[in-house]
Amino acid sequence: MLLKGKIALVTGSTSGIGFACARSLAAEGATIAINGFGKPDSVAAICAELSELSGAPTVYFPADLSQPEDNRNLVQQVQDSFGGVDILIANAGIQHVEAVETFPSQKWDEILAINLSSPFHLIKAVLPLMRRNQWGRIIATASIHSTVASAFKSAYVAAKHGVVGLVKTVALETAGSGITVNAISPGYVWTPLVEQQIPDTMRARGMTREQVLKDVILAAQPSGEFVMVEQIAALALFLCRPEAAQITGANYMMDGGYTAR
């Protein structure tokens, strides 16, 4: 297995993109440390599934990623349990949609803390561990909003632009060390959250399911198709492969052509 013996910390990994990335790494033998929201039974089932895939223990580490100390403690807990961190996927994120004039200041602070400051604190904590081994892979989940803006998403857009700036800077600081640092920027991703919104939108707009998908959700995505979490996970896995050793400081757009216009 490609990643047997490697320790991977994936935040926001109890669902969606993070879980898909954790599964992809586990299938290649990585020992997985997960973090995110979820009921105990659900989290236990996720740990069992990942352990079965990897043949190694999977441990859930709760942490409030809006708090700098919790980010540092999370890395320390993974190090204490497994001996280090070889792969970091900083994926956790939150969103709030509202005009700047009425955007709650608390929401701004929360979004910047989790979407931008958390990756910084996590990267700062894992870098000494990776430098010690002269090998590491850091991947941040960004967004199409790392390069383009949408109205009513000021905090999210600012944070995702900042994530890519952080990735580029750390890539320069670690160049030649065996550590690579990259971002993946998805467009509209098919997740349970999106699926749950479809019936309400159908009723509100008097549309069919197909019309909602094509004319509302995917109107800005030229391919007319969702990005699938498995596709994002496959790219994350590739960035961990030896063939990707010279890819660093990159921001990979996976958006069906959204930002090509």
Separation in Å, CA 14 to CA 22, 76, 221: 9, 20, 27
Q: What is the arithmetic mean of pLDDT over 85-96?
A: 95
Whether 170 and 101 map to the same domain: the answer is yes
Residue 1, in any domain of the structure: no
Q: Mind listing the pLDDT tens digit for each residue in 98-144?
A: 999 999 999 999 999 999 999 999 999 999 999 999 999 999 999 99
122: in domain:
yes
State residue 217's pLDDT score: 86
The answer to whether residue 2 is domain-embedded is no
Q: Which pLDDT belongs to residue 207?
A: 92
- pLDDT at residue 194 in the model: 81
pLDDT tens-place string over residues 202-234 = 888 899 999 989 888 898 899 999 999 999 999
Residues 205 and 129 in one domain: no
**Do 207 and 216 meet the contact criterion of CB atoms below 8 Å apart?**
yes
> Which residues carry out catalysis?
156
Same domain, 175 and 106: yes
**CATH number, domain containing residue 51:** 3.40.50.720
Indicate whether 148 belongs to any domain. yes
Domain total of the chain: 2
Type and span of the H or E element at 72? helix 68-82
Percent with pLDDT over 90 in the chain: 87
pLDDT at 25: 98
Same domain? For 250 and 209 the reply is no
> Do both 42 and 13 map to the same domain?
yes
Cα–Cα distance measured from residue 149 to residue 163, given in angstroms and rounded to the nearest whole number: 14
Q: Is 16 in the same domain as 97?
A: yes
Q: Are residues 109 and 213 in the same domain?
A: no
Asked, for residue 74, whether it belongs to a domain, the answer is yes
Q: What is the CA radius of gyration of the chain?
A: 18
Q: Are 166 and 153 found together in one domain?
A: yes
84 and 37 belong to one structural domain: yes
More confident residue, 194 or 227: 227
232 and 172 both lie in a single domain: yes
For residue 22, is it within any domain? yes
Mean pLDDT score, 189-198: 82
Domain assignment present for 234: yes
143 and 218, same domain (yes or no): no
pLDDT at 171: 98
Domain span including residue 212: 190-225
* Confidence at residue 70, expressed as pLDDT on a 0 to 100 scale: 97
Asked if the structure places residue 129 within a domain, the reply is yes
Strands (E) in 93-223, as ranges, are 136-141, 179-186, 189-190
Asked if residue 181 and residue 219 are part of one domain, the reply reads no
